[in-house]
Amino acid sequence: MQTAPAQQLVDHLFRHESGKMVAVLARIFGMHNLEMAEDVVQEAFLKAMQAWKFGLPPNPAAWLMQTARNKAIDIVRREGYARRYSAELAEQLTAETENTVVQFFSEHEISDSQLRLVFACCHPSLKQEDQVALTLKTVSGFGVAEIARALLTNEAAIQKRLYRAKQQIKETNINFEIPEGPALHQRLETVYTVLYLLFNEGYNSINAEELIRKDLCMEAMRLCKLLSENKAGAKPSTYALLALMCLQASRFDSRVDENNSIILLPQQNRSKWDQQLIQLGYCYLNQSSTGEHLSVYHVESAIAAEHCLAASFGQTNWQHLLQLYNILLGIKPTPVIMLNRAVVLGSCGQTKQALKEIMAIPGIDVLVQTQYIYSAVLADLYLTLRDYPNAQKMLAQSIALTTSGAEKKLLGERLALASQQSA
């Protein structure tokens, strides 16, 4: 028997294939029957675990797809018009059932179904936190425990989000489709937000064990690329978001050392930056330059590109970055953008002005008490000014607020240095 290899393969394929299978089945059964689609996929994987103990099939992914397809055919044949399926299938039930279902399992239709499912999961009637959880569960094949770990909450909260989202889908009668006209623009913005949040959680994970969750980043990039390859999603903002992801992902290998210690931008070895991803990012950035609409993703990708263009940290064009942040602030005047702009201002030699602008951020008193990044940035500015007492205070506060082991380690080292310098 090949129990261990079979189990490992099933686990691997569940992540990479289950989302595709759920997407196709949801297209056949309709979004209101999403749980039935998930049950069919679960059954296919359980069959695989039993059958593959005695030998793996030549093409395991195809085996799983065929098993799910056969089960779908059985369900449609057995229940026929007794169950309300998707409108798309209902129109074709008069034809031969098997051929009707099989056509949805072609490679092109699988990709189309995945994108439809992304749009369905990002329906504006769902809460944003529910959209993210539902996308990770149904489209990306993440387990509940994994989603809870990625989104820094508990499994009960994720179960509640998923249940709430599925109930809303049934009650709202959300269609399994890519919307058109004005509705497409509205939904695209929601899809962008979900993919952006997904990538950011992976890139700057507050997970205690992992600073970078590459799996989350790669999944966000995969879905964004899928979006860019569809006529409905081939928009300048899509290319800009994809450019941003590529340029940020290019620095993965330089951000953390072998001991899981954070390497800040000034100390990063730029020879480790992935030049292929950088060039791909530039390519997508060029593709995003058509049209007149300037999105936040255009500006953020331009900021990321500016860092990649600099041969060293010392050669960074901080004045140009400040100009870009001024534009970004005009589009998206959020506290975190104000904070990042202040960091650039400090790098331009205007440390006191940077401090002043951070303290002017609306709600800064609460932000400093609840989010570690604000006190961490303030500490850096105080260190630059050699104001060690305030730097120590801010560093101690940021250490208490972060849950990331790598962040705690870095901040602890800086606190020790500040204490030594103030002695």
Label residue 73 exposed, middle or buried (CB < 10 Å: 0-12, 13-18, 19+).
Answer: middle
Convert the pLDDT of each residue in 59-87 to its tens digit: 998 999 999 988 888 887 776 544 566 65
Q: Where are the alpha helices (DSSP H) in 289-363?
A: 296-309, 318-331, 335-347, 351-359
Give residue limits of the domains in the chain.
1-105, 109-218, 235-252+265-311
In angstroms, the CA 382 to CA 29 distance is 59
The tokens 């749009």 sit on which residue? 119
Please answer whether residues 192 and 237 qualify as being in contact, where contact means their C-beta atoms are separated by less than 8 angstroms.
yes
Encode the chain (423 residues) as per-residue pLDDT tens digits.
445 666 777 777 887 888 889 998 888 888 888 998 999 999 999 999 888 888 888 999 899 999 998 888 888 777 654 456 665 555 554 455 566 567 767 777 788 888 999 999 989 889 988 998 999 889 888 888 878 876 767 899 999 999 999 999 988 888 888 888 888 888 898 899 889 888 887 887 655 455 677 888 888 999 999 999 988 899 999 999 999 999 999 998 898 888 778 888 999 999 999 999 999 999 999 999 998 889 999 999 999 999 999 999 999 999 999 999 999 999 999 999 999 999 999 999 999 999 999 999 999 999 999 889 999 999 999 999 999 999 999 999 999 998 778 888 899 999 998 888 876
**Residue 251, phi then psi, degrees to nearest 5:** -100, 5
In angstroms, the CA 213 to CA 228 distance is 23
So what's the pLDDT on residue 84? Answer: 63
Token pair of 51 as six digits: 């059958």
Nearest to 344 by CA among 294, 398, 383, 307: 307
**What does pTM read for this prediction?**
0.82
So what's the pLDDT on residue 204? Answer: 73
In angstroms, the CA 388 to CA 382 distance is 7
